[in-house]
Amino acid sequence: MKFFATTTKGLEEVLADELTRLGVREVVTANGGVNFSGSLKDGYRACLWLRTANRVLRPIASFPCPSQEALYEGVYALNWNELLTPSMTLAVNAKLRDSEITHSHFAALKTKDAIVDKIRDNCGERPNVDPKDPDLRVNLHLARNHCTISLDLAGTGLHRRGYRRDPTIAPLKETLAAGLVALTGWDQSTPFVDPMCGSGSLPLEAALLASNYAPGLLSPNFGFQRWTDFDVSTWNELLEEAETAQRELPANLVFGSDRDKRAVDMARRNAESAGIGARVRWSYNDFAKLEAPADHGTLICNPPYGERIGDEVELEAFYRKIGDTFKQNWKGWTAWVFTGNLALAKRVGLKASRRIVLFNGPIECRLLKYDLY
Ligand SMILES: C[S@@+](CC[C@H](N)C(=O)[O-])C[C@H]1O[C@@H](n2cnc3c(N)ncnc32)[C@H](O)[C@@H]1O
C-alpha cells in the first residue's frame, strides 16, 4: 500500500527519518511530505507514532483532470461502496495548484457530489457531510490538471495531540515543535531547556520524545477506526505495544521557563493533561536571570518576533540581550533560536554555526544554532 505523510515545509527530512525508524518501505521525500509504502498496520502505526506528520494519506486513485467534468467522472468511477455506507459521514479537503479548476471549495464540492451520487445510485440513500468530525475524510490534490484522491487515515490533523488546554497567544504547532526538537539533535540524556516556553510546546514535545511516548496515545481517536476495513485487533496490538514502550522521563532532564506566570501555569496544565506534568521542571523567570541547570545541554527558544506579538524596537534590544545572556550564563551549551524575523536574529550578535529554513504557517523562519564554547 502507498502512503503520503504531509508535514511542514522544511521538516521533510525529519519526517523521513521518523518513517525509516518505524520500519516502513520506500521512504522518499517530496515537497511538503514523504511518500512511503507498507501495510495497513504501518499506516496505523504512522498515525500513532509520527511526531512531525500533519496527516497520513492513502492515495487510492490518480487521473488526468483538465475540467470539472473529468473530476466528477474520475471520482464517480471509484469504488466508494467499499469505503462508505450511507450511514457514514464524509468530508472532502482539496488543495489545488496550476490547474484549470482554480477554486478549492468548488473542487471539494464536486468531489463530494460525485461520491454521494455514487453511493445513492448504488444504495438508494446518500451519506451525510460532516466537515468537523467525518467518518471518512477524503483528500483531493490537484496539480497541473492531474488529480490524486486519497483517504486521510487520521481524519484530523495529527498536530492536535489533545494536551493543549488553553493555548497562549502564539503557540507553535505541536508537529513543528516536535520537528524543532528533532533538528536540535538533542541526545535525550543531557538537560533540555526552553527559557521562553509560552504554552510549553517545545519542552512537552521533548518530554514525549525522551519518554518514548507515542503522541497518538494522547487522543487515540482516528478516522480509520470508523472505516469499513478497520482491523481492531491489529490496532489494539499497536496500542499495547506503544503503552509498554513508554519509559519514565528522568527528573531534571526537561525544563520550561517563561517570564509570564500565566504562560507557565498554562504549560504546567498542558503537561498535566499530557500525563507528564510531574517530570517536566517548570519555572517562572526572566531569561536573563535563569540559571543553567548543568555545565552543558541543549537550549532552544522561540522568542517573540514581531509578526504577531511584540514591538520591533523593543525586540531589537531583547535579541541583543539574548546573545549577551547566552555568552554569560550558558557557556558550554548548544543554543538554538527559532525566529521568523531575520533582521532581529542578527541582533543576537553571535555567529550561527547552522541556519535551517522552516515555515511556521506562511512565515519563513530560521532555526539558528549557536555553539557557546
Ligand atoms: C512566541 S512565544 C513562545 C511560544 C511557545 N514556543 C509556545 O509554543 O507556546 C514567546 C514567549 O517568550 C516569552 N518571553 C518574552 N520575553 C521573555 C523574557 N525576557 N524571559 C522569559 N520569557 C520571555 C513570552 O512570555 C512568550 O511566552
Residue 362 maps to a domain: yes
Regarding whether 326 and 365 lie in a shared domain, the answer is: yes
Query: Count of domains in the chain?
Result: 2
- Rounded to the nearest angstrom, the distance between the alpha carbon of 198 and the centre of ligand 1 is 5
Regarding whether 347 and 272 lie in a shared domain, the answer is: yes
- Rounded to the nearest angstrom, the distance between the alpha carbon of 353 and the centre of ligand 1 is 23
Determine contact, residues 349/320, Cβ cutoff 8 Å. yes
Minimum CA distance residue for ligand 1 atom 1: 304
Regarding whether 180 and 63 lie in a shared domain, the answer is: no
Regarding whether 42 and 101 lie in a shared domain, the answer is: yes
Regarding whether 180 and 143 lie in a shared domain, the answer is: no
Strand partners, 359: 364
Residue 238 maps to a domain: no
Regarding whether 277 and 362 lie in a shared domain, the answer is: yes
Minimum CA distance residue for ligand 1 atom 12: 196
Nearest Cα to Cα of residue 17 among 227, 178, 256, 163: 178
C-alpha cell of residue 159: 498536530
Regarding whether 46 and 126 lie in a shared domain, the answer is: yes
Output the tens digit of pLDDT for each of the chain's 373 residues.
999 999 999 999 999 999 999 999 999 999 999 999 999 999 999 999 999 999 999 999 999 999 999 999 999 999 999 999 999 999 999 999 999 999 999 999 999 999 999 999 999 999 999 999 999 999 999 999 999 999 999 999 998 887 776 655 578 999 999 999 999 999 999 999 999 999 899 999 999 999 999 999 998 789 999 999 999 999 999 999 999 999 999 989 999 999 999 999 989 988 888 887 678 999 999 999 999 999 999 999 999 987 555 577 889 999 999 999 999 999 999 999 999 999 999 999 999 999 999 999 889 999 999 999 8
pLDDT at residue 316, rounded to an integer? 92
CA distance 100 to 315: 45
CA atoms within 13 A on the CB side of 39: 8
Minimum CA distance residue for ligand 1 atom 7: 171
- Rounded to the nearest angstrom, the distance between the alpha carbon of 275 and the centre of ligand 1 is 23
Which ligand 1 atom is nearest residue 199's CA?
9
- Rounded to the nearest angstrom, the distance between the alpha carbon of 261 and the centre of ligand 1 is 11
Residue 162 maps to a domain: no
Residue 169 maps to a domain: no
Regarding whether 178 and 147 lie in a shared domain, the answer is: no
DSSP characters over 182-249: HHHT--SSS-EEETT-TT-HHHHHHHHHHTT--GGGGS---GGGGSTT--HHHHHHHHHHHHHH--PP
CA 183 to chain centre: 14
- Rounded to the nearest angstrom, the distance between the alpha carbon of 129 and the centre of ligand 1 is 40
Residue 226 maps to a domain: no
Kindly report the CATH number assigned to the domain that includes residue 324.
3.40.50.150
Which ligand 1 atom is nearest residue 201's CA?
8
The residue to mutate among 258, 291, 318, having the most atoms of ligand 1 within 8 angstroms of its beta carbon, is 258
Regarding whether 195 and 138 lie in a shared domain, the answer is: no
Pocket of ligand 1 (CB under 6 A): 168, 170-172, 177, 195-199, 201-202, 258-260, 263, 286-287, 302-304
CB-count exposure of residue 54 (10 Å: 0-12, 13-18, 19+): buried
Amino acid at 35: N
CA distance 14 to 17: 5
Q: Residues 6 or more apart from 79 whose CB is under 8 A from it? A: none
C-alpha cell of residue 23: 520500519
Which ligand 1 atom is nearest residue 260's CA?
25
pLDDT at residue 308, rounded to an integer? 54
Q: Which 3 state secondary structure label does DSSP give 56?
A: strand
Q: What is the pTM of this model?
A: 0.95
Residue 66, domain extent: 2-152
Compute φ and ψ for 120, nearest 5 degrees.
Answer: -65, -40
Nearest Cα to Cα of residue 142 among 35, 61, 80: 61
CA distances from 266 to 63, 93, 279, 285, 310 (A): 48, 32, 16, 15, 20
Strands 254-258 and 281-284: parallel
**b/e code 202-241 from CB counts within 10 Å (16+ = b):** bbbbbbbbbbebbbbbbebebbbbebeeebeeebeebbee
- Rounded to the nearest angstrom, the distance between the alpha carbon of 213 and the centre of ligand 1 is 25
Regarding whether 272 and 134 lie in a shared domain, the answer is: no
Regarding whether 328 and 191 lie in a shared domain, the answer is: yes
Regarding whether 188 and 95 lie in a shared domain, the answer is: no
The residue to mutate among 165, 196, 259, 268, having the most atoms of ligand 1 within 8 angstroms of its beta carbon, is 196
C-alpha cell of residue 55: 496527516
Residue 332 maps to a domain: yes
Kindly report the CATH number assigned to the domain that includes residue 112.
3.30.2130.30
Residue 111 maps to a domain: yes
Which residues in the chain belong to E strands, given as ranges? 2-6, 25-30, 33-37, 55-64, 89-97, 128-129, 136-143, 146-152, 192-194, 254-258, 281-284, 298-301, 334-339, 354-360, 363-371
CA distance 257 to 276: 16
Determine contact, residues 7/63, Cβ cutoff 8 Å. no
Which of 120, 152, 184 delimits the end of a domain? 152
CA 295 to chain centre: 32
